[in-house]
Amino acid sequence: MMMSEAIRNPKENSATYRVLGGASLCHLLNDMLQSLFVAAYPIFKGNFHLSFGQIGALTLVFQITASLLQPLVGLYTDRRPQPYSLPVGMTISMSGLLVLAFAQNYGMLLVGGALLGVGSSIFHPESSRLARLASGGAHGMAQSVFQVGGNFGSSLGPLLIAFVVLPRGQKSLAWFTLAAVFGIVLLTGLGHWYKQHGHAIQKKQAVKHTLHLSRKRIGGALAVLILLTLSKYFYLASITSYYVFYLMQHFHTGERDAQLYLFLFLAAVAAGTVIGGPVGDRIGRKKVIWISILGVLPLTLLLPYVALPITVALSVVIGLVIASAFSAILVYAQELLPGRVGMVSGLFFGLAFGLGGLGAAVLGALADHTSIEFVYKVCSVLPALGLLTGFLPDIHKPDAGEEAETMPTVEVLAPLGSEE
């Protein structure tokens, strides 16, 4: 269903946009639960006397669990869509939060983080497909609306830790399972819509076309997208996992103030996410990727050397700009491999988690051996990998010189009425 058709059918358009809004709200709740885990690191560090390396390992377990499973979940659901797997994923995330709330040792923290990762691996591929089905043909816009829910949810973690958990202690994390219960109810309703209407919409959206790109060029483009994702999420890991510690050590700020500054950064990431998809629909994904990754390089290079007010201001601008990349990267990859929405979504959500986790672990070990300040100086050059965007083909302009070998379009229209 293209946008013009949606306009001619306002009732159907309204229904799908309600679904898209519901998916975004559930993404907010899902990622809020995960962000509580990361934002609680200072509490865990104090309660269990953790090193930065152990904190990095917590992030690694959480994000590697998600990154390894998400592409497999997406590949499976491309062939056998599972509408009601959405509330199952939220339920597993809720159980992970309960484990963290009542953890009595480091091992239980690792188990709680792993459960959050498993829940995320189930939630993201199918919910991303649901957003695409409810897009009305504006796939970039839909991914941005879906992503902004998750990013806004991530930004809430430090705020909730600062005003709810810090005054009351680790066990107060359990209160947020009420939000998970609400999400489970909402996702059950979305799963019902998905089961009833998803197959018909997928047929309308299916467009038979073949990219005029060889398998080699498609593989090369995917490799570039993976490296760009690496640069983005390694840099984001330096902020999300260690920004609070950096501000407390480098500027001697209080923990609550540091959590508020982290909230400002994450809120800017949420706002920036709204921009990337719709702008990509208008000017092309490749231009958005250029601007969002390479464009922040001067700011990241400056950030380790400025005073606190400028540090906070620069972090907000960096978050706003760099966040616009992911929706553009994801939709670009989906267009490279039409018919593989679940697998591509799972792969890139998995990469986001896995590379963020790997980055947190590597940077944590580096901080233990050097300093947090040194980590920020090293990470400041990562956006230079944005230069690789020049190697991405323009997939909207067929290249007459390409070889005859092309990647065939694969339409996977499994019956949604059966959840085998």
pLDDT, tens only, 289-335: 888 888 899 999 999 999 999 999 999 999 989 888 877 888 888 78
Residue 198 confidence (pLDDT) above 70: no
Cα–Cα distance for residue pair 355/278, rounded to 1 Å: 26
pLDDT of residue 2: 39
pLDDT of residue 396: 58
Cα–Cα distance for residue pair 130/117, rounded to 1 Å: 20
pLDDT of residue 182: 96
**Residue of 230, 303, 295 whose CA lies nearest to 261:** 303
Strands, E assignment, 158-306: none
110: which residues sit within 8 A by CB, 6+ positions away? 57, 58, 61
User: 93-102, 110-119, 121-130 — which is least confidently predicted?
Assistant: 121-130
- Banded pLDDT at 276 (limits 50, 70, 90): confident
Q: Write the burial class of residue 379 (CB in 10 Å: 0-12 exposed, 13-18 middle, 19+ buried).
A: buried
- Banded pLDDT at 14 (limits 50, 70, 90): low
Average pLDDT, integer, range 396-412: 41
Average pLDDT, integer, range 264-269: 86
Residue 12 confidence (pLDDT) above 70: no
CATH of 9-204+212-391, one of 1.20.1250.20, 3.80.10.10, 3.20.20.70, 3.40.50.720: 1.20.1250.20
What are 157-174's pLDDT values in tens digits?
888 888 889 888 899 999
Q: Which amino acid is at 251?
A: F
pTM of the model: 0.66
pLDDT of residue 403: 41
The alpha carbon of residue 415 and the mean position of all alpha carbons in its chain are separated, in whole angstroms, by 28
Average pLDDT, integer, range 151-156: 80
Average pLDDT, integer, range 56-72: 80
The alpha carbon of residue 237 and the mean position of all alpha carbons in its chain are separated, in whole angstroms, by 12
User: 69-73, 116-120, 211-215 — which is least confidently predicted?
Assistant: 211-215
- What integer best gives the mean pLDDT of the chain? 80
Strands, E assignment, 278-349: none
Residue 176 confidence (pLDDT) above 80: yes
Cα–Cα distance for residue pair 56/396, rounded to 1 Å: 41
Residue 202 confidence (pLDDT) above 70: no
Cα–Cα distance for residue pair 66/43, rounded to 1 Å: 23
Task: Map out the domains of the chain as residue ranges.
Answer: 9-204+212-391
8 A C-beta contact, residue 126 and residue 346:
no
pLDDT of residue 110: 95
